[in-house]
Amino acid sequence: MEFLNRIELRGVVGRSDLSTVGQAQKCRFSIVTEYGAYRNGESVVESTWFNVNVWEGRGMPDLSKIQPGCWVWLVGRVRTYKYTTPEGEERSSWEITASRVDILPREEGERMQPNHSY
């Protein structure tokens, strides 16, 4: 059996940081996704933030165009990092390493927003 570590996300960029590492460009950004649910007779929207790393390369967009507020669709894999806070607490962080990123036109992204009017 083959192992699979794949995640696909579509959402809005929150922050973006473009840097150069050696000869390559790297973009680290956050993306928010929303999930609409109906709980206890009320419509509830659950927002989840993800941290994403993407390196320039074949099939990638111009990384400088990944800006706050733009809609993206990405495919990648999840990596876990463990660290200790200055207060001595053990923590884990999950990060997406993207293998494909598409910047969506604003109109297309807005059409894909969840309908919360159940």
All structural domains of the chain: 7-111 (2.40.50.140)
Could you tell me what percentage of the chain is helix, strand and coil, using 3-state DSSP and rounding each to the nearest 5?
10, 65, 30
**pLDDT tens for residues 54-84?**
999 888 999 999 999 999 999 999 999 899 9
Distance CA 2, CA 33 (A): 28
Q: Decide which of 113 and 101 is more confident.
A: 101
**pLDDT tens for residues 3-50?**
999 999 999 999 999 999 999 999 999 999 998 888 888 888 989 999
pLDDT at position 56, please? 93
